Amino acid sequence: MAKNITFIVTKDCQLACKYCYLVGKNMKERMSWETAKEFIDYVLSHESEFPEESVIWDFIGGEPFLEIALIDRICDYLKLRMFELNHHWFNSYRFSFSTNGINYHTPEVQRFIEKNRDHLSIGITIDGTERKHDMNRVYKQPSTDPNGITLSSDKGSYNDVVRNIPLWLKQFPDAGTKVTISSTDIPYITESVLHLYSLGIHQVNINVVFEDVWQEGDDSRFEEQLMTLADAIIDGGYYEDYACSFFSEQIGKPLDPERDNQNWCGAGRMLSVDAAGKLYPCTRFAQYSLREKRALVIGNIKDGINQNLLRPFLTLDRVTQSPQKCLDCEVASGCAWCQGENYDAARTNTIYERSTAICLMHKARVRANNYYWNKLYRKLELEEHREEYEKNHRKSNPEIC
Amino acid sequence: MKTKIGYVTAEERDEIQSLFERRNGLSELAKILTPDNDVLYQKLVKDMGETGTKFQNWWDRMAAQYQWQGTENGHWEINFETCEIFLSE
Amino acid sequence: MMQYLVILLDDTSVSYCHCDNPHKERRLIGLDDLRMSIRYAMMENLMVQMVYPNYALPQEYLDVIDTIDHHDIVPWGTGDRPVQEPDVVVMDGLSGESPVLRNVPYVLRITKAGLFKSVDAVAQLTQQVARLNVVITDVETITDAELPKYREVLDTLAEVVKAEYLTGCAPQLNLLTDRMMLDKPNHCNAGVENITLAPNGRFYLCPAFYYTDADDNVGSVAEGLDIRNPQLLRLDHAPLCRHCDVWHCRRCVWLNRKMTYEVNTPSHEQCVMAHTERETTRRLLANVREKATFMSEVEIKEIDYSDPFDVRKEW
């Protein structure tokens, strides 16, 4: 199992996406080298507190590549120190990025990629067709706010992202993209997934937002889109080499309260640090991610982690946080949650109250998913390809937040 | 052309995967470490040699143990996910 | 099910638990609020526990209090005694004087340093009163390095309790005798079985929630009780505690929230203190049994951990 350690290197981004959960993005909070170094020194000098076999050093923003010079310095220092300390993570580490892709082609980013090629995982977010992408992923307005808070403009970012996709896929042929679906995106799901396939992206990790944004009838519209998508994938033969995380054989089954009681979310098993040197159980608990609640800080780079504050995260299970309707649900498997969103939406300051805002959307997904697999397997049976398919086909990644 | 020639156990896979990761880590480290950092540079050079030897020893040991076929211009590859061994020519 | 209503009669009413009462200025509960809360308790079938300040209440208050069956929790004091026959007397630290009322349970609020220093006095007190509840007010600050000292203190107290047992007496010291008397958890259950009414007329999960943040209320007599996420206060929603057999632990939801930000999760410090008491109790039971037949139906198993968090993966 890998430890995920996230540097929130900046809270700035070129974009101001309309669905972005980062409500407090700004241009002021940029991580300094001194903070990054102190954090690294803390983590690497407390090896026994981090027994995980592997580590994923994750860089997030805002847009992380806005701070490529800092990231380059951080990664060099990490490599040197892990080696110098004979740290067990030197044998198993990755540098991971979720980027909007706008700066991907720049010499600074490309030099960094070349230097760290064997240890990189980079995901570029592209939401689908131009109209779907540009509905939400728009540039920010030039800021006039004294606190640097950003506002959306009308200018979409599709063209500036899509031009970098070929280079990205050349460097990372197996890379996947992350697509986020909000209420207004529903009509464009099918065209968007197919468009991403046409760009050469074989793995589309797609999920609906956890926030309570859903309108009456969205579930029916969602189901309809997924049915259309299912037909398109099967009739077009995309299922052989492409994957879309909406369709998974594992979802839509009842869950046993004892056997299937693990928490979905990895918050608490991860660690995030921000520009101020504050530590969080996941980025989603930093103040810029929260609408209603105060940040849940579990320590800082000077004093380290307050282990007592991790206890609720590490003892959290599915049953304890779920309402009865989820425990009784016959299609519960695959219904995800985000601990940060649960915390933000809860009636008290707790991570133990599961938000069920996606309930109807999950059920719609399950119905379309059932249709997808029944139709696909029937086709494969008739073509006598089922066994071969089950053995070789590209598996979807587990849902990601 | 790739031909599947056998399997290794998960433990054997873990061993070579760890060496593979270390070798990659060392070669990326070599891009940023200069001889003026004498102590660390010497440590790196020594480690690269040792890791390379262990890496080759693993293949030699496995090839002997499982009697894998080889060719003059071919080399063996492993799929870390499936533990399958291929001869690539 | 709610069973008790704790009424803090004044802002300076004595604290009988972990949290200090920071209020220094007297402010009596409004007489109307007191009447309404008594009426509420009658309608909800709640047993009332009146918590007194260290001064005599006006007669009109005593008259209203007298309209309902209740228990009186009073501070230790040599001055004006607020009630003649209290049900619980609270000592805030050791006074050096002997208790007057020998048949009444006493609460001793004491710091760990105070306990470490005055273990003999605490042992003596145990022999003098019907029951002694020792409340360590800074339990959350105990370090692993201090645990051997705590064990030593408990061992000293256990020797005294053992000697009393062997002479046919039945002393009650919560830290050492409660666990062997219990056959199921006996937690505080604030917000589940009891609720507190503060002098401002509002409900709180317990007095500590009022002391630390008056805005942190859960309704009022007029508006009704409004506990959000009440399930999280119950044992079945406490992932560590529901597996634990340290039944005498208070499972203090206020301390839980203070230390871990969650009412249903105890801190390491709370767990190791309670487990140290459990272990000393287990050994005390065995020691007494070496000399006499004693509570043969009770079994406290030997365990090899002091914090259930460390063995959570085994559940």
Residues of A in contact with C229 (CB under 8 A): 346-348, 350, 352-353
How far off is chain C from A265, nearest CA to CA, in Å?
17
- At C10, list the tokens: 């004044």
Name the one residue in this structure whose structure tokens are 């803090």: C8
Residue C127 inside a domain? The answer is no
- A260: contact with C, CB 8 A cutoff: no
CA A53/CA A87 separation, integer angstroms? 11
Q: How many structural domains are present in chain C?
A: 1
Residue C145 inside a domain? The answer is no
- At C311, list the tokens: 């063995």
CA C207/CA C187 separation, integer angstroms? 16
State the complex-level ipTM. Answer: 0.94
CA C64/CA C71 separation, integer angstroms? 14
Residue A58: which of A141, A148, A122 has the closest Cα?
A122
- At C194, list the tokens: 């009891």
3-state DSSP of chain A: CEEEEEEECECCCCECCCCCCCCCCCCCCECCHHHHHHHHHHHHHCHHHCCCCEEEEEEECCCHHHHHHHHHHHHHHHHHHHHHCCCHHHHCEEEEEEECCCCCCCHHHHHHHHHHHHHEEEEECCCCCHHHHHHHCEEECCCCCCCCCCCEEEEECHHHHHCCHHHHHHHCCCCEEEEEECHHHHHHHHHHHHHHHHCCCCEEEEEECCCCCCCCCHHHHHHHHHHHHHHHHHHCCHHHCCEECCCCCCCCCCCCCCCCCCCCCCCCCEEEECCCCEEECCHHHCHHHCCCCCCCCCEECCCEECHHHHHHHHHCCHHHHCCHHHHCCCCCCCCCCCHHHHHHHCCCCCCCCCCCCCHHHHHHHHHHHHHHHHHHHHHHHHCCCHHHHHHHCCCCCCCCC
Local structure of C196: helix, strand or coil:
strand
How far off is chain A from B61, nearest CA to CA, in Å?
21
Across the interface, whether the CB atoms of A320 and C261 are under 8 A apart is answered no
The residues in C 292-311 lying below 8 A from A, measured between CB atoms, are 309
Residue C275 inside a domain? The answer is no
Chains near B (3 or more Cβ pairs under 8 Å): A
- Per-residue pLDDT of C142-159, as tens digits, reads 999 999 999 999 999 999
Q: Give the range of the structural domain holding residue C47, as residue numbers without chain letter.
A: 1-81+192-226
CA A295/CA A288 separation, integer angstroms? 8
Chain A residue nearest residue C218, CA to CA: A348
CA C98/CA A24 separation, integer angstroms? 60
Residue C293 inside a domain? The answer is no
Residue C43: which of C231, C226, C225 has the closest Cα?
C225
CB A342 within 8 A of CB A326: no
Across the interface, whether the CB atoms of A119 and B24 are under 8 A apart is answered yes
CA A214/CA A183 separation, integer angstroms? 6
**3+ Cβ–Cβ pairs closer than 8 Å linking B and C:** no
User: What pLDDT, on a 0 to 100 scale, did the predictor assign at position A145?
Assistant: 66
Chains near A (3 or more Cβ pairs under 8 Å): B, C
Lowest mean pLDDT among A153-157, A297-301, C270-274, C280-284: A153-157
User: What pLDDT, on a 0 to 100 scale, did the predictor assign at position C17?
Assistant: 96
Angle at A284 between CA A308 and CA A54, to 5 degrees: 70
> Which residues pair with residue C6 across a beta bridge?
C49, C196
Q: Give yes or no for a cis peptide into A217 (omega within 30° of 0).
A: no
Residue C78 pLDDT more than 60? no
Across the interface, whether the CB atoms of C265 and A312 are under 8 A apart is answered yes
Across the interface, whether the CB atoms of B29 and A118 are under 8 A apart is answered no
Q: Write out chain A's pLDDT in tens, 401 residues.
A: 899 999 999 999 999 888 776 676 777 789 999 999 999 999 999 999 999 999 999 999 889 999 999 999 999 999 999 999 999 999 999 999 999 999 999 999 999 999 999 999 999 999 999 999 999 899 998 765 666 667 778 899 999 999 999 999 999 999 999 888 999 999 999 999 999 999 999 999 999 999 999 999 999 999 999 999 999 999 999 999 999 999 999 999 999 999 999 998 899 999 999 999 999 999 999 999 999 999 999 999 999 999 999 999 999 999 999 999 999 999 999 999 999 999 999 999 999 999 999 999 999 999 999 999 999 999 999 998 888 888 777 666 555 55
User: What pLDDT, on a 0 to 100 scale, did the predictor assign at position B2?
Assistant: 84
> Which residues pair with residue B76 across a beta bridge?
B87
User: What pLDDT, on a 0 to 100 scale, did the predictor assign at position A142?
Assistant: 77
Angle at A265 between CA A262 and CA A266, to 5 degrees: 100
Across the interface, whether the CB atoms of B18 and A116 are under 8 A apart is answered no
CB A375 within 8 A of CB A234: yes
Across the interface, whether the CB atoms of A351 and C259 are under 8 A apart is answered no
Residues of B in contact with A91 (CB under 8 A): 18, 21-22, 25
Residues of C in contact with A312 (CB under 8 A): 260-262, 264-265
CA B10/CA A349 separation, integer angstroms? 44
- A346: contact with C, CB 8 A cutoff: yes
Half-sphere exposure of C134 (CA within 13 A, CB side): 31
Residue A242 burial (CB count, 10 A): 20
Among the residues of C252-305, which ranges form H helices?
253-260, 268-291
Residues of C in contact with A346 (CB under 8 A): 229
Chains near C (3 or more Cβ pairs under 8 Å): A
Residue C49 inside a domain? The answer is yes
Name the one residue in this structure whose structure tokens are 């006598």: A384
CB A171 within 8 A of CB A189: no
CA C22/CA A31 separation, integer angstroms? 40
Q: Which domains does chain A carry?
A: 1-173+264-315 (3.20.20.70), 177-263+317-401 (no CATH)
Q: Is C62 left (phi over 0), alpha (psi -120 to 50) or beta?
A: alpha
Return all residues near C283 (Cβ < 8 A) that are at least 6 apart.
C158
Residue A141: which of A131, A151, A133 has the closest Cα?
A151
Residues of C in contact with A49 (CB under 8 A): none
User: What pLDDT, on a 0 to 100 scale, did the predictor assign at position A146?
Assistant: 64
- A320: contact with C, CB 8 A cutoff: yes
CA A210/CA A19 separation, integer angstroms? 11
Q: Give the range of the structural domain holding residue B39, as residue numbers without chain letter.
A: 2-88
- Best C242, C262, C263 member to test A by mutation, with max A CBs in 10 Å, is C262
User: What pLDDT, on a 0 to 100 scale, did the predictor assign at position C99?
Assistant: 83
Q: How many structural domains are present in chain B?
A: 1
CB A5 within 8 A of CB A43: yes
Of B25, B33, B40, the CB nearest to A90: B25
- A317: contact with C, CB 8 A cutoff: yes
Q: Mean pLDDT score of chain C, rounded to an integer? A: 94
Residue C34 inside a domain? The answer is yes
A51 class by beta-carbon count within 10 Å (0-12 exposed, 13-18 middle, 19+ buried): exposed
A217 class by beta-carbon count within 10 Å (0-12 exposed, 13-18 middle, 19+ buried): exposed
User: What pLDDT, on a 0 to 100 scale, did the predictor assign at position C82?
Assistant: 60
**3+ Cβ–Cβ pairs closer than 8 Å linking B and A:** yes
User: What pLDDT, on a 0 to 100 scale, did the predictor assign at position A225?
Assistant: 97
Across the interface, whether the CB atoms of C309 and A316 are under 8 A apart is answered no
Beta-strand pair C131-136/B84-88: unpaired
- A53: contact with B, CB 8 A cutoff: no
> Which residues pair with residue C92 across a beta bridge?
C109
Q: Which whole number is the average pLDDT over C35-54?
A: 96
- Number of Cβ pairs closer than 8 Å across A and B? 41
CB C163 within 8 A of CB C196: no
- Per-residue pLDDT of B39-59, as tens digits, reads 999 999 999 999 999 999 999
